[in-house]
Amino acid sequence: MMDLKSRRVWVNQQQLVPPLSAQQFKLLWLLYERNGQVVTRPDLVAVVWGDEQSAGVSDQALDALIRRLRDRISALDPTQQYIDTVRGHGIRLNNPKA
């Protein structure tokens, strides 16, 4: 569950503490809004970094952000893989309780 106004995130009914970084929150919010749909890498970069800065963002920077977000979420629920990579297409949020 996510609350946009307070920027709080709950995983498996536990609040993520400390809060996510601004970039991690933007990434997760985009995936949460798309409700299981695959989001392309260019769309992720445009939303997280903004259109003006997105030209200089490497695949490695995006991969590192996704990895850090996965690590934060798995700390509260290691039994579920919430962020799935769809090879050749992008990533999606796998949130069975939503």
Decide if pLDDT at 93 tops 80: yes
Domains of the chain: 26-93 (1.10.10.10)
pLDDT of residue 66: 96
The model's pTM: 0.88
Q: What is the pLDDT of residues 37-91, one digit of tens each?
A: 999 999 999 999 987 677 788 889 999 999 999 999 999 999 989 999 999 999 9
Query: In a 10 Å sphere around its CB, with 0-12 CB exposed, 13-18 middle and 19+ buried, how is residue 93 labelled?
Result: buried
Q: What is the pLDDT of residues 14-28, one digit of tens each?
A: 999 999 999 999 999
Closest of 97, 96, 98, 92 to residue 34, by C-alpha: 92
